[in-house]
């Protein structure tokens, strides 16, 4: 594949390295950061306004400040778009969905195979254990800036797609007894932990828990590249990693 990478931080650089090792090419990268922009073949977002189609797919792991530019470029050039950008606004998610009417697009908060199998089975577990107390705990390195993680939110959505439960992010003080209609969400930050997500279902005299641990960012890169290879041959539409994994 020829891949345009949006966001040339740690994920973007690892994606490029992995693609090149696999025999793919990265003709262009785009980033708003001045330091990144000084690297080879990295352009500022303003260049996208006049840039033609240079790749088979865009892989975007930047941040929401670049999202509008990337969506506009993908629409104008008809380039399939894979995004792992978290914390996008509701308006940006809507624009992304509209883009899927014309070209193939996929968004996921986490591209690891394990997490997406996790997400796939959670609704079935929640149907059976819906009356149990549900808590989500996520752990990440000390440089992560947002909490709860995008993946934790995705797991909560898988459990509660209709928003019937209140999401309680941490507890403090005299907060009262836990209610049945809440999902507790807790964020731990420390060291160099790449990512750990755990969902606990607490019943009477028993606990059912599922945990996923990531040892490196490579699992995210490998999953995203696998998804990109399938995305470039898809018809226009909005796809998920579950579509990719379970067809």
* Catalytic pick among 140, 153, 197, 212: 140
Helix (H, G, I), strand (E, B) or coil at 28: strand
Residue of 120, 144, 230, 234 with catalytic role: 144
144: annotated active-site residue:
yes
- Clarify whether 172 is annotated catalytic: no
Cβ partners under 8 Å of residue 33, min gap 6:
8, 9
Please give the sequence-ordered ranges of beta strands (E in DSSP) within the chain, or none if there are none. Answer: 2-6, 25-30, 42-43, 57-60, 81-83, 104-107, 133-140, 166-169, 182-189, 195-203, 206-214, 237-239
- The angle at the Cα of 88, spanning 85 to 92, to the nearest 5 degrees, equals 115
Sheet holding 2-6, edge to edge: 42-43, 25-30, 2-6, 57-60, 81-83, 104-107, 237-239
**What sign for the dihedral angle of Cα 124, 220, 46, 99?**
negative
- Given a contact cutoff of 8 angstroms between Cβ atoms, the answer to whether 73 and 19 are in contact is no
Catalytic residues: 140, 144
């Amino acid at each position: 594949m020829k891949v345009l990478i949006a966001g040339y931080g740690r994920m973007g650089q690892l994606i490029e390295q992995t693609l090149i090792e696999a025999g793919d090419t990265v003709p262009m990268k785009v980033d708003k950061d001045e330091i990144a922009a000084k690297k080879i073949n990295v352009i500022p977002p303003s260049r996208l306004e006049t840039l033609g189609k240079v790749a088979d797919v865009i892989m975007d792991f930047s941040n929401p400040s670049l999202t509008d530019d990337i969506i506009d470029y993908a629409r104008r050039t008809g380039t399939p778009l894979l995004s792992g950008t978290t914390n996008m606004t509701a308006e940006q998610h809507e624009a992304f969905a509209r883009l899927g009417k014309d070209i193939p697009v996929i968004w996921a908060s986490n591209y690891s195979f394990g997490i997406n199998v996790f997400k796939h089975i959670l609704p079935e577990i929640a149907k059976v254990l819906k009356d149990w107390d549900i808590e989500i705990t996520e752990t990440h390195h000390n440089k992560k800036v947002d909490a709860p993680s995008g993946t934790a939110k995705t797991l909560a959505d898988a459990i509660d797609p209709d928003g019937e439960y209140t999401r309680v992010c941490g507890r403090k003080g005299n907060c009262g007894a836990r209610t049945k209609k809440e999902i507790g969400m807790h964020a731990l930050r420390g060291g160099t932990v790449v990512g750990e997500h755990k969902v606990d279902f607490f019943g009477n005299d028993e606990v059912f828990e599922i945990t996923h641990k990531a040892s490196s960012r490579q699992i995210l890169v490998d999953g995203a590249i696998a998804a990109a290879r399938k995305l470039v041959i898809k018809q226009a539409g909005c796809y998920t990693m579950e579509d990719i994994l379970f067809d």
